[in-house]
């Protein structure tokens, strides 16, 4: 067989290997589309592993067969074998790292019961698998890893001192998720005044999405040390109070009945209300202008309180007007001693708000 023909066959094998891998990947993806819909996580992860390995394994097979031909290349067979072995090990490391990250993330979501991503666990798993894979690859090609491990230990100590803040954020993120006081999806408020949903906890930061939709990025160490209110723990529903006032001439029994009727109607008509809790009215102060009381409503979620309070106030204002119940303006009554000078009475009147 002539050398040009051998070179042509080798080149064809090098090209056909990746093409075969691409074709295999497409077949795997089509099978995955039909199977993943059945809800089997292990099938999804198995197809993901096959998807990641199809192209690199196909390329390596084509390259291996091509190099086995008598092309006359000045390469040692042992060196070629080591290079191909290392390439295969790295491809396996990449695929297994993704698979292990998917498994850990899936287990974490199942345990915590949240739908948000927990990328911290995924990142740590990938780093650990990559380090182990590289060490195994070096050992498989004949590199002594024992001195390397010693050097890595000393280097890791130096890196730990240099990256003290980064490692503090990493371990704080692990503590946040492991303690289960906060999970992705919870609605929280921290002592800095920031409030919103926890969207993700990664290796360095915690991401909070506020009510306007913007992201607030908080370092894990500061988030772990913050005084925090979690509106989703132990339950998501919460009490909301609305301060109201009625004139002293009002019948307080009637005022209470009207306020309760409006509150029940608002909770019933709105999806934001918590129908399992009865509204309450509590009178608490003889104010300067009238009798002050508060109406206690209950909402299903923190963010629903604004709509519920708004609709309740509109409804209560309308009913008070229909029932003749007066919401008093601020009033101050001044009594002047008999026989007081007209100038003093005039001055007192001028200084009255």
Residue 286 gets the label, from left (phi > 0), alpha (psi -120 to 50) or beta, of beta
Q: What is the pLDDT along the chain (353 residues), one digit of tens a residue?
A: 567 777 777 788 778 888 888 888 888 778 777 765 544 555 666 777 777 778 888 888 877 787 777 766 666 667 777 777 888 888 888 888 888 877 777 766 665 554 444 566 677 788 888 888 888 887 777 777 666 666 666 666 666 565 567 778 877 887 787 777 888 888 898 988 888 988 888 878 888 998 888 999 999 888 888 888 888 887 777 888 999 999 999 999 999 999 999 998 888 888 765 666 789 999 999 988 899 999 999 888 887 888 889 999 999 999 999 999 998 887 666 767 676 555 555 455 544 44
Rounded CA separation 353/336 (Å): 16
Diameter over CA atoms, the chain: 135
- Contact between 149 and 134 under an 8 Å Cβ cutoff? The reply is no
Q: Do residues 178 and 124 make contact, with C-beta atoms less than 8 angstroms apart?
A: no
What is the reported pLDDT for 262? 93
pLDDT recorded at residue 139 = 76
What fold, for 179-230?
SH3 type barrels. (2.30.30)
| Tokens coding 230 | 């979690």
Q: What is the pLDDT of residue 74?
A: 64
What's the CATH number for 238-323? 3.30.70.100
The CA distance from 94 to 120, in Å, is 18
Query: What SS3 class is residue 219?
Result: strand
Q: Where are the domains of the chain?
A: 3-168, 179-230, 238-323
Q: Which of 152, 17, 23 is nearest to 88 (CA)?
A: 17
* 126 secondary structure, DSSP code: H
- Taking a C-beta distance cutoff of 8 angstroms, is the pair 202, 123 a contact? yes
Degrees to nearest 5, angle at CA 103 with 102 and 104: 95
Per-residue CA distances from 163 to 26, 125, 155, 170, 296 (Å): 43, 20, 12, 10, 50
């Amino acid at each position: 067989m002539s050398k040009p023909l051998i070179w042509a066959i080798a080149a064809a094998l090098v090209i056909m290997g990746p093409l075969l891998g691409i074709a295999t990947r497409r077949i795997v993806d089509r099978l995955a589309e039909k199977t993943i819909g059945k809800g089997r996580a292990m099938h999804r992860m198995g197809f993901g592993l096959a998807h990641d390995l199809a192209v690199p394994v196909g390329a390596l097979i084509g390259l291996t067969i091509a190099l086995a031909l008598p092309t006359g290349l000045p390469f040692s067979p042992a060196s070629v074998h080591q290079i191909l072995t290392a390439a295969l090990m790295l491809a396996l490391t990449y695929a297994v790292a993704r698979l292990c990250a998917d498994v850990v993330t899936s287990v974490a979501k199942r345990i915590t019961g949240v739908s948000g991503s927990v990328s911290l666990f995924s990142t740590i798993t990938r780093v650990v698998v990559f380090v182990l894979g590289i060490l195994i690859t070096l050992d498989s090609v004949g590199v002594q890893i024992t001195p390397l491990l010693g050097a890595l230990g000393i280097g890791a100590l130096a890196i730990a001192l240099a990256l003290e803040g980064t490692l503090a954020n990493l371990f704080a993120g692990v503590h946040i998720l492991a303690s289960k006081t906060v999970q992705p999806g919870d609605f929280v408020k921290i002592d800095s005044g920031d409030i919103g949903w926890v969207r993700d906890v990664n290796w360095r930061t915690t991401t909070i999405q506020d009510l306007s939709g913007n992201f607030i990025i908080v370092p894990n160490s500061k988030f772990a040390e913050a005084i925090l209110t979690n509106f989703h723990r132990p339950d998501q529903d919460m009490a909301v109070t609305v301060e109201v006032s009625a004139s002293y001439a009002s019948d307080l029994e009637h005022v209470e009945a009207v306020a309760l009727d409006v509150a029940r109607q608002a909770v019933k008509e709105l999806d934001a209300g918590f129908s399992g809790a009865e509204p309450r009215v509590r009178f608490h102060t003889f104010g300067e202008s009238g009798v002050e009381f508060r109406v206690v409503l209950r909402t299903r979620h923190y963010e629903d309180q604004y709509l519920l309070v708004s609709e309740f106030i509109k409804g209560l204002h309308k009913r008070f007007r229909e029932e003749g119940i007066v919401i008093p303006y601020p009033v101050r009554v001044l009594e002047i001693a008999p026989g007081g000078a007209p100038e003093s009475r005039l001055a007192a009147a001028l200084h009255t708000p």
